[in-house]
Amino acid sequence: MRRNTELGLMVMAVAVTASAYTLGALGTTATIPANIGPFLGAVIGLFLLAHLACRRYAKGADGVLLPLAALLNGIGYVFIARLDKKVAGLQATWTFIGVGAFIATLVLVRRTRDLSRWKWTFALVGLLILLLPLIPGLGYGVDARLWVRVGGLTFQPGEVAKLLLAIFLAAYLSERRELLAVGRKFGPFEIPEGRDLFPLLFAWGASLIIMIGQKDLGSSLLFFALFLVMVWVATERASFLAIGLALFAAGAYFAYHQFQHVRTRVTIWLDPWKYYNGKGYQLVESSFSMAWGGLTGTGIGRGHPDRVPAVKTDFILSAIGEELGLIGTAAIVIAYLLMVGAGLRIALRTEDPFSKLLATGLTTILGIQAFIIIGGVTRLVPLTGVTLPFVSYGGSSLIANYVLVALLLRISHETAVRAGEVER
């Protein structure tokens, strides 16, 4: 039943993608694209393979996550193709690789619990990968050192590291959750033991290193939020949450007063129009772009989102807002909310502590990352350099997020097997 639901939703996602692709060509050249047939065949074939992999290897898994990922991926590709034909070819290649990684994850990871055996390996490799951009000659970036170049290959190591560290944290916290849950009474409050605060302090220090060394506010916030949420869920103690938020506030205050790049981001966030001819140009043009879209948008291919620098990556939501309007932007936000809801439902249903924490961590990554970039583009929070999952241009992000969805589906399938809903 779930697979049939998934198939129906996949058909709808493909139909929306093909329609948007056609409308984009009509809006730009007033002609139906000559390659609509091959394009439609490639999209159908690609996502049909992903669906068949679920039907074969995870038949009891949630039926909503994959269609939502396909929809967001398709909409993102349509706008990338509309903005830059050359980059669209690369994004198509990364989509094929991402779906391949999705299928490979379902095939290779037959029991998520087995991943916990390698927790320290995942922790070490994750930290090393995360710090790769700090190595001179290897890491590079304009405002932030987010990328690593090896030969002709470039990738964003933080996208891989977030999955590895989520697996480590799930394994570590599932083993120590009872010890971490014990604290000392301090009046009406229960304060954690000093030794139990070490993991929280370590995560805080690591996030500050990312913020200071790589000038990457987005990844710093993402990793600290990931750890904080997982500790809170593992221990069910609000004191960890309160202490974590206090550490975050202290770190943010320190970084604002000590580092120019942090102060610049906050200043631009508060009043970008004052710096229109400089650092604020990007954010102001993004605001204009979304304002021009109004309620229903200008139509795909009939706007001018190319005025916004980095529109294919950090600001692709502004292109969607201009050409699809508030309705289209709200649809994108709703898609992310549905994905987060599906992930949390998977976490709630599973009884295994490791799987519960891993599902929570993976869902937190997806939700926080989407919130950070959507909030940055709409000026709800200071702008950071993370990508919009499945929508923005970028191979590292696309592959990592498809693996993330595959792990969530594996956990969902295992829960269905334990409940006797399907056979393994």
The Cα 363–Cα 278 span in angstroms is 36
**What are the backbone dihedrals phi and psi of residue 396, each rounded to the nearest 5 degrees, phi first?**
-60, -45
pLDDT for the residue numbered 80: 93
The Cα 133–Cα 57 span in angstroms is 36
pLDDT for the residue numbered 256: 80
The Cα 369–Cα 59 span in angstroms is 28
Q: Which two tokens stand for residue 320?
A: 């969607």
- DSSP annotation of 271 reads -
The Cα 36–Cα 30 span in angstroms is 14
Residue 188, class by beta-carbon neighbours within 10 Å (0-12 exposed, 13-18 middle, 19+ buried)? Answer: exposed
| C-alpha closest to that of 162 among 359, 361, 354 | 361
**What are the backbone dihedrals phi and psi of residue 290, each rounded to the nearest 5 degrees, phi first?**
-70, -35
The Cα 148–Cα 129 span in angstroms is 10
- DSSP annotation of 389 reads T
Per-residue pLDDT of the chain (424 residues; tens, 9 = 90+): 788 999 999 999 999 999 998 888 887 777 777 677 788 888 889 999 999 999 999 999 999 999 999 999 999 999 998 888 888 888 999 999 999 999 999 999 999 999 999 988 998 888 888 878 777 777 666 566 667 777 667 778 888 888 998 998 899 888 877 666 665 656 555 665 656 566 666 776 777 777 666 666 777 788 888 888 888 888 877 777 887 788 788 877 887 887 777 788 888 888 899 888 888 898 999 999 999 999 999 999 888 888 888 888 889 999 999 999 999 999 999 999 999 999 999 999 999 999 999 999 999 999 999 999 999 899 888 887 778 999 999 888 999 999 999 999 999 999 998 877 777 6
Tokens 């083993």, located at residue = 175
The Cα 232–Cα 126 span in angstroms is 22
Contact predicate 356/418, CB 8 Å: no
pLDDT for the residue numbered 172: 86
pLDDT for the residue numbered 158: 81
pLDDT for the residue numbered 309: 86
The C-alpha angle 37, 43, 49, rounded to 5 degrees, equals 130
pLDDT for the residue numbered 56: 92
- Tally of CB atoms within 10 A around 93: 11
List, in sequence order, every beta strand (DSSP E) within 64-175. 139-140, 147-150, 153-155
Instruction: For the full predicted model, state whether its pTM sits above 0.85.
Output: yes
pLDDT for the residue numbered 140: 65
- Tally of CB atoms within 10 A around 177: 16
pLDDT for the residue numbered 141: 61
**What are the backbone dihedrals phi and psi of residue 140, each rounded to the nearest 5 degrees, phi first?**
-155, 170
pLDDT for the residue numbered 9: 94
Contact predicate 361/342, CB 8 Å: no
**What are the backbone dihedrals phi and psi of residue 387, each rounded to the nearest 5 degrees, phi first?**
-95, 155
The Cα 210–Cα 219 span in angstroms is 7
pLDDT for the residue numbered 15: 92
**What are the backbone dihedrals phi and psi of residue 192, each rounded to the nearest 5 degrees, phi first?**
-65, 150
